[in-house]
Every structure is written in C-alpha cells, then in structure tokens.
Amino acid sequence: MWRAVLAVRGTPSDHDAVAAVDVVDVTAPHVLAVALEDAAAPVVVAGHPIDATAARTACSLLVAHRPDVPVTLWLTAHTTGATLAALRLARAATDDAGHGMRILADTLNRTWSAVVLDSVARLEHPNPTLGQHLRSWLPGTRFVVRQGPRPRAVAASAVTSLLEGVPRAEHDLLVDAGATDDPVTRAVVTAVAPERTLPLGIPVTDTARRYGRRERFELSLLPRPGIWSVPGPATRCPGCGLSVPGQVCVFCRTTGDVPGPPPGDVVSAGPVLTAGVGR
C-alpha cells in the first residue's frame, strides 16, 4: 500500500481526502507531516511547479519527521483536476508506490488539460501576446489556456486549435459540473469525441496565483481504460524493494536497470535530492 497526496495551496481546510487521495495544503510546511503522521507506507506527493518550494519544504519536513517512510515529489504543470484524476487512477491500479509513479507519469504524458479564463492580462505562463492583452479588456472575451508541457493560450472560439494531435474516442472528458453545456466544452466534445463526460470534483485552491485570476472552469482529457495499456511494474529496487519507474529509484536513489520515464522533483528518504520538473 502507498499514500497518494495532492499538494495544493489555498484550500479551505488544511487536509482533506478525495477518493483515496489526500489533499494537503502545504502553505504551512508542518501540515503534511501532521496529516501523514500515521503513514506506514511510501508516500507519493504530486503538485504544481508554482508550489514547488512549499511542497519541497513540506516533503523535507515529512522525511525528517518520518525517516522510515519513503517520500517522493512529482511536479506537473497540468491542472489540479488532471493531476488529482491521474493520482486516483495510479492509486487504484497498484499497491506498489514505484509502479504507481510509473502509471502517474504515463497517464499525465497522455493527458490534455486546460483552463478557461476571462482574461490573460495577468497570466505569466504562457506569456500572452500583446493582442491577447488588449482583448482581455473587452467585455465577454474568454480564453482557453492549455496546461501541461506545451502551454498555450487562445481565444475560446479557437479551442480546437489546442487539440491537434489528440486522438478521437480515446479519452474521458472531466469538466466542472456547471460547465458541461458550455460552448468550449461542446467544441471539445465535437473535436475529440470522448467516451464519457464526467463531472470534475476538485478541491478549492488559490488558482489566482497560477493564472493571475480565478479560473472559470477547467477541462481534462484522460486516457480511457481499455484503449490505454497501463504500464507494468519494472525491476525491483535492490535498495528499498519498490518498483523502479525509471533508471533511478525515486524513493531511495538507488540506480536501477530498466529505462522508463524520468523522475520528477524527488525528495528521498535520504538526503534531499531534486531532479527535473515532471511533465
């Protein structure tokens, strides 16, 4: 067994749980250690790069508080809902934390996510064009901002341009319950024909820090079970015994033998180590 944690900032409560995933506000660094005080299994924490410093600090404090518990941190620029859904899928698929990390990485590599905003005037990443800044002042203007490894902002009417390369009928669409009939949602459904459209229940977070203002809603396209083959577990780590999702164990930093997706931002149970930002 392992604990899946979504690290956020600005939630109404310090600690909550959404379908087997602990949602922890890491604004105060001690909260993660308190929330997982009874943890007796490896911990996988996922969060957004904007929260990287807070999440690293919280993970480091957890490691110091519970040196017997392996901890790893994965940073991804996907939306909160997409990351939460990928964590839930990985946690449900396996009891091995290393294998779960591999499934999490592979799921997010195949995921498309975006947010709908009324303005991009304060958006920093991706940097809006001058024309988009000017259009942000016009009443009724909306934008769709693709998240993940290739962020891009377009007018809401051009949302289909953000879907190039997304195969038809191979994903489930997760969208806020109140936005299932929104023109942006309908355009996405027409373009990629998702198998199912599911309500997206996500914790309330401070998205204004991420996008410059509160989002209208977010959408995520996750690979559909049956079409997508869940990657199997890799070689067991000779150090900690967990499956190694890449060439280096993301928990104890022992070198493995099977290539795979690179680790995200890693905090191990040994010295605090960091690698590149996850997808």
Q: For CATH 3.30.1180.10, list the domain ranges present in the chain.
A: 112-223
Interacting residues of 150 by C-beta distance below 8 A, sequence separation 6+: none
Angle between helices 80-93 and 97-109 (to 10 degrees): 140
Taking only the tens of pLDDT, the chain with its 279 residues reads: 899 999 999 875 656 666 689 999 999 999 999 999 888 889 999 999 999 999 999 999 999 999 999 999 999 999 999 999 999 999 999 999 988 988 999 999 999 999 999 999 988 888 888 888 788 878 889 999 999 989 999 999 999 999 999 999 999 999 988 899 999 999 999 999 999 999 877 766 777 888 888 888 999 999 987 777 777 777 888 888 888 866 788 888 886 554 444 444 444 443 333 333 333
CATH code: domain 112-223 is 3.30.1180.10
Q: In angstroms, rounded to a whole number, what is the distance separating the alpha carbons of residues 172 and 193?
A: 9
Phi and psi at 262, nearest 5°, equal -65, 150
